[in-house]
Structures are given as C-alpha cells and as structure tokens.
Structure 1
Amino acid sequence: MSEIVTPGWSPDRGKFLYDQAFLRNVVTVDGKPEIIDNLKLNPTAGDFRRHGEYVMAGRTHISTVTCLEPGLTDDHIDQVRDLVRSHEGGESQLWGSVSRTNRPGFTVRALANRTEDLMHLTTSVADFIRGEFRGQGPIHLRKY
C-alpha cells in the first residue's frame, strides 16, 4: 500500500497549497489491527509554517509505502533500506527511512520536492517485493 501527498499543480507554475491532508490507514490481520498509520498535514497553519523546516525538513512532498509479507526477513528489510539510501539526495533532495512493523513487514516514509522521485522510490520498493516474493517483473504505471 502506498501514497504520495504533493502540494499540487498550478497553471501559473506557482505553489499550490492544500489546507489540510489527513490520511488514516488501518491494516488488519485476522480481524485485528496490525498497523494504524495517521498522517496529518496542515501546511497553512501557523505552527506548520513556523516549524515546516522541522516537520518536513524543507521538503514539499511526502510518501508512505507499507508492506506486510509473511516471508520477510531482516535481510529483506536491510535491502529495502539500501534501496531508500540509493534514492536519497539528488535534485529533489529525497530523504527517507524504513521502520520494521510488529509482523514481518515495514513502512517507508520519504520526503522530497518532486513527485517523480518519490514515485521512482515507491516503484523500486514494489518491484523488489514483487520480484522477491511473487516472481513478478517490474510494475508499469501509465502516468510515470
């Protein structure tokens, strides 16, 4: 499961701000919640503007990738961490981290200034998991 939150697009190429984004994802296994992820962004609020550098490290875009996979090992998570590190920096100043979940799985959270860079990271993680556990090739999304 993944999502990317961006500031949007404006015809005059100016920054387009949203008032608030609130994402709540609940992943259940056998009817019991395993992962509850709440992300609330309010870029027009005074505190957010004042502490935006702290909250988003000066970035404008955020992405989350969550994966639960019964066969996942610490070695797989290390490989995902290496993938994230390989995408860090660059033009959009991508920065990310990987957190292990209670069940075999992980969550990647990344910040950047360009949708394309977060999308590339997201598909790289998905391609790794698809190849490792499903024997599937890279995913092809029509927009990117």
Structure 2
Amino acid sequence: MNTRTQVGFGPDVLGNVEPGSMLAVGVRGRLELGISVRGGRSVASRQFHEGALRVLRPHYLDESGQVCYVMVNPGGAYLGSDLFVVDVEVEAGADLLLTTQSATKVYRTPGSFAEQRMTVRLGEGSRLELMPDQLIAYREASYRQNSHISLHPTSSVVMAEVVTPGWSPDGGAFRYEEVRLRNEIRVETGDGSKLLALDNLLIRPPCNDVTGMGFMEGFSHLGSLVVVDPRVDQRLADELDQIVRGFDAHTGVSLTATIAGTAGIVLRSLSNSTEELNNLLGACTGVLRERWYGQAPLNLRKY
C-alpha cells in the first residue's frame, strides 16, 4: 500500500513564523483570525492577513449565531516552495464555520513542496467546523499540510477533507508526487496538554498508474473526517459506520481514547468520485449539526 496512516508521537518540525509588517522569507500568505462572542453571536475580535491569503466578509447561515468565514487565495493555486500560515483562535463560547472559496489546487512543485501550516486554539465551550473544498493535486505536485489543534475538554471540532488527483484534457490522470496531511490534536487539562491524536496521512501514487491496485485499493479519491467532542462515543462511531455504508465508497471509522471527558472519531473513505465523498461527509456532519445544535445540513454552494 502506498497510502499510509500513522498515529503516534513525533517531533515538532514545523517551526514558527512571527507576525509582522512583512512576510517572512518563503511565506507567501498569512492569515490570523480570532473569534469571540458579542451581542449573542460570534464575531471577529482579531483579523489580520498578509500576502496571498485573506477572508471574505463574514456571514451567518442561520439564527444560531455561528459566524461563517471564507478563506481566499487570490493567486488561485499553490506552487513549489509556497508556504501559507493560518492561525485561528475561537474563544470561549464562540462558534466558527471556516471554509474556502474554491478548491485548493496544487500545481507542479519543482525544487520543493508547497505547504500549509495551521494552528487552531479552541476555548471553553467553543466550536469549529473546518469545511474546505477539495484539495486537487496535479501532475508532479508535492504538498504538505500540518495542523496543530489545541482544545478545551468542552470544545468541539469537526474537520472534513477530500483529496483528488487533477486530470488532463484527454482524460488521463495527472500523477502527483505526494500529499502529506498531519493533524496533531491536544486537549488542555488541569494537568497540562495531553495528546489526543497524532494523525499522519501519506498518499504517494505509484509512477506507472495513479489508480492501480495496491494504491488506495484501486480508488483515486480520499475523504477524511475528524470529530472531537465530549459527546463522541462508541455508539456515535457505530452510527456513522452505518451511515457511510449507503455510499459507493470504502470507509473505515475509528475511535480515539478519552482524555478529560472528550474523545475523537477519525473516518477515512476511498472512492472514485469527489461528489460521492462530499455527499458522504455531508451526511455525517449533517447528523452532528442537527443532533447537537439543531442546525440544518450545510449547503455551501459558492456559484
């Protein structure tokens, strides 16, 4: 298998990029967003952007008070040696839905990989839904995405991701080099920071056939869902496992250990269709939105 999922401990090799009036060397875009509660709904208390990253004006999809921000990369794509840094803080009681304006496209990266580094901090009773459009890796693309998430035991995070290969005009598959997705999730307790999950995903297509057997079981697209919440338990994991069986995809669901009363679910799904994976992930997140918050399923049409 050329797709590997690894959970364990490892050194922090991300480094830090200090904020300032000019972008650090190698950083193409930086975004900082802080969300707090004001007047009964969530609003931005801190917002900063520099280079090729920014957010559109906030909007509210319903009466819950959850604020929705859309991240934009005016450059349109990630190229070799590009580095994008995102810092998000959701303060106590605040509620943020963060999405992207369109698919994240990674083109050829000769010389070095493109990278996104994201740091997320969640306060007591806060909530984050991270719902980007799909990541499309084109021929000879190499991409790394590193996310560090620090949360209070009472906070909630739901993160969805779809990875798909780009296609040429004649219908042939572009052969990207690799995609690495790394999520480090920590729970802040009275005894310090505790590691809940360290999830490393490596997708490295074979040179001769991006969809051949032995690579992702013959599938071309991958979907991922991570949920951390004090209401996560084995019953919910079993329910999601039943839901995904109604889709044309090969899916596995696993449950993390419990730390300070909170736990996580990691779902991986393989398919040959972006739409099928988006529908599958939407069905799962729709259950959580309705049950936990009384909200309708997401409809993030951007056209």
Flag whether TM exceeds 0.5 (same fold). Answer: yes
- Corresponding residue to 1:37 among 199, 213, 217: 199
How far is 1:5 from its partner?
1.1
Could you say which residue in structure 2 is the equivalent of 1:26? 184
How far is 1:9 from its partner?
3.1
- Corresponding residue to 2:257 among 80, 92, 102: 102
Per-residue CA distance 1:66-115 (angstroms, 9 max, x = gap)? 1011012322221101111111x3xxxx1101111113321110000111
For normalisation by structure 2, the TM-score amounts to 0.42
Q: Which runs of 5+ in 1 are unaligned?
A: none
Cα pair 2:175 2:207 within 8 Å, conserved: no
- Corresponding residue to 2:242 among 67, 71, 82: 82
Q: Which has the larger radius of gyration?
A: 2
How far is 1:12 from its partner?
3.0
Per-residue CA distance 1:2-26 (angstroms, 9 max, x = gap)? 2111112333332122111111111
Q: Distance in 2 between matches of 1:37 and 1:45?
A: 25
- Corresponding residue to 2:217 among 31, 40, 57: 57
Q: Distance in 1 between matches of 2:168 and 2:227?
A: 33
> Greater CA deviation, 68-77 or 109-118?
68-77
1:3 and 2:165 matched: no
How many residue pairs end up in the alignment? 137
How far is 1:43 from its partner?
0.8
Could you say what the CA RMSD is over the residues aligned between the two structures, in angstroms? Answer: 2.2
Cα pair 2:205 2:215 within 8 Å, conserved: no
Could you say which residue in structure 1 is the equivalent of 2:274? 115
More strand by share: 2
- Corresponding residue to 1:70 among 219, 230, 235: 230
Task: Give the residue type in structure 1 aligned to 2:217.
Answer: A
Cα pair 1:18 1:44 within 8 Å, conserved: no
Q: What secondary structure does 1:13 align onto? A: coil
Greater relative contact order, per chain length (Cα 8 Å cut-off, separation 6+): 1
Q: Distance in 1 between matches of 2:302 and 2:204?
A: 27
Could you say which residue in structure 1 is the equivalent of 2:294? 135
Per-residue CA distance 1:111-134 (angstroms, 9 max, x = gap)? 001111111111111111111112
Q: Distance in 2 between matches of 1:9 and 1:19?
A: 14
Q: Distance in 2 between matches of 1:35 and 1:45?
A: 31
Q: Distance in 2 between matches of 1:14 and 1:55?
A: 17
Q: Which runs of 5+ in 2 are unaligned?
A: 1-158
Task: Give the residue type in structure 2 aligned to 1:32.
Answer: K
Q: What secondary structure does 1:54 align onto? A: coil
Task: Give the residue type in structure 2 aligned to 1:19.
Answer: E
Q: Distance in 2 between matches of 1:125 and 1:143?
A: 21
Structure 1 residues 10, 45: closer, same or farther in 2, change over 3 A?
closer
Q: Distance in 1 between matches of 2:207 and 2:182?
A: 20
